């Protein structure tokens, strides 16, 4: 006897789809509309086609910000992913210490973004901040407000302190999902710790690492609040990333057409690089 499928439950999901359409698709279409028009006032607009896209792509501010953004994103990924794996491997697996470690790792993730920037703004000051004072006391001339290298180091360290916990928690959950039979077989074969990591733990972590890398790349590529609070994009424009450049263009200069074109290019870059990350990692997994 054939069973008749009841699809009435989809009607319960319909309000969610409508909400997503209203909160995402409609604003996106508004930005697309602005990106092909020259807006003079609320009632006057002239269709300009791809003029704003051409202007934005030739803008040196976009090019410089894009280079800085890629350098920053790859720098934090190169640090946070290995560090997160190492922290997860060193964490206890059972008992109260395991619960305590999980709580301590979750604390940085609960801090609001503007508070993180403020914490490091004070922490890095040479006069009242412990980090800045300690570096200057041992003879290192550190000042993130006037030195480009110091500003970059501080911004990267701030991101590592804030988000390494996310990678560590994801890796920890992946490690706990590995059956004990794998470890028992490895001990019977007298496998070294490196062999256990290389042939048992790392392959089992690939799925969570894909999620972690994608989340961290997208978040770091769209970062705004923390560096804005910490350095304001300075010294000069050395820590001005894409999101800050876009905000200055849209709000500071009120260039709605170029800003809309800029935001769509920004969105496509994030989408393209995330797709390349995901495709490359999944193909590497299939080849093995």
Q: Where are the domains of the chain?
A: 57-287
The pTM (predicted TM-score) of the whole model is 0.83
Fold topology of 57-287: MetI-like fold (1.10.3720)
Q: What is the mean predicted confidence (pLDDT) over 257-267? A: 88
- Report the DSSP beta bridge partners of residue 46: 38
User: Which residue, 164, 9, 153, 189, is CA-closest to 86?
Assistant: 164
The average confidence (pLDDT) of the chain is: 86
Task: Answer with the residue of higher pLDDT: 276 or 112.
Answer: 112
56/87 Cα distance (integer angstroms): 42
Print burial letters for 136-150: b (CB count within 10 Å at least 16), e (below 16).
eeeeeebbbbeeeeb
- For residue 286, is pLDDT > 70? no
- Report the DSSP beta bridge partners of residue 38: 46
How does strand 44-47 pair with strand 37-41? antiparallel
Residue 2 neighbours by CB under 8 Å, 6+ apart: none
Return the pLDDT at 126: 85
- Report the DSSP beta bridge partners of residue 37: 47
Band the pLDDT of 4: cuts 50, 70, 90. Answer: low
17/20 Cα distance (integer angstroms): 5
- For residue 276, is pLDDT > 90? no
Cβ proximity of 155 and 72 under 8 Å? yes
- For residue 274, is pLDDT > 70? yes
Return the pLDDT at 95: 79
Band the pLDDT of 73: cuts 50, 70, 90. Answer: very high
**How confident is the model over 173-197, as pLDDT tens digits?**
999 988 889 888 888 888 888 999 9
Q: What is the largest CA-CA distance in the chain?
A: 83
**How confident is the model over 90-118, as pLDDT tens digits?**
998 887 888 898 899 999 999 999 999 99
Return the pLDDT at 88: 92
Enter the tokens of residue 224: 């705004």
Enter the tokens of residue 145: 């407000």
Q: Quote the percentage of the chain above a pLDDT of 90.
A: 26
Return the pLDDT at 55: 86
Return the pLDDT at 35: 85
79/163 Cα distance (integer angstroms): 11
Q: Is 212 exposed, middle or buried (0-12, 13-18, 19+ CB in 10 A)?
A: buried
Enter the tokens of residue 250: 């849209």
Beta strands in the chain (DSSP E): 37-41, 44-47
Q: What is the mean predicted confidence (pLDDT) over 153-166? A: 94
Band the pLDDT of 247: cuts 50, 70, 90. Answer: confident
H/E element holding 102?
A: helix 96-110
- For residue 1, is pLDDT > 80? no
For residue 161, cis peptide bond before it (omega within 30 degrees of 0): no
Task: Answer with the residue of higher pLDDT: 21 or 180.
Answer: 180
């Amino acid at each position: 006897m054939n069973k008749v499928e009841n699809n009435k439950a989809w009607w319960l999901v319909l309000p969610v789809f409508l909400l997503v359409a209203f909160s995402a698709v409609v604003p996106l279409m508004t930005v697309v509309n602005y990106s092909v028009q020259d807006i003079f006032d609320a009632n006057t607009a002239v269709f300009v086609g791809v003029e704003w896209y051409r202007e934005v792509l030739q803008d040196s501010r976009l090019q410089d910000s894009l280079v800085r953004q890629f350098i920053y994103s790859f720098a934090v990924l190169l640090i946070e992913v290995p560090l997160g794996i190492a922290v997860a491997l060193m964490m206890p697996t059972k008992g109260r210490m395991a619960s305590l470690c999980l709580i301590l790792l979750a604390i940085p993730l609960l801090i609001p973004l503007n508070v993180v920037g403020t914490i490091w703004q004070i922490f890095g000051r040479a006069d009242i901040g412990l980090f800045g004072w300690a570096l200057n006391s041992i003879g290192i001339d550190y000042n993130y407000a006037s030195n480009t290298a110091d500003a970059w180091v501080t911004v990267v360290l701030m991101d590592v302190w804030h988000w390494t916990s996310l990678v560590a928690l994801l890796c920890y959950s992946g490690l706990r999902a590995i059956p004990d039979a794998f470890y028992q077989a490895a001990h019977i074969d007298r496998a070294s710790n490196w062999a256990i990591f290389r042939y048992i733990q790392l392959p089992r972590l690939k799925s969570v690492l894909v999620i972690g890398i994608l989340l961290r790349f997208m978040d770091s590529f769209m970062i705004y609040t923390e560096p804005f609070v910490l350095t304001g994009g300075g010294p000069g424009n050395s820590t001005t990333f894409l999101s800050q450049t876009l905000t200055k263009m849209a709000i500071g200069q009120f260039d709605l057409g170029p800003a809309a074109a800029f935001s769509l290019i920004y969105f496509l870059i994030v989408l393209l690089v995330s797709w390349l990350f995901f495709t490359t990692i999944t193909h590497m997994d299939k080849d093995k």
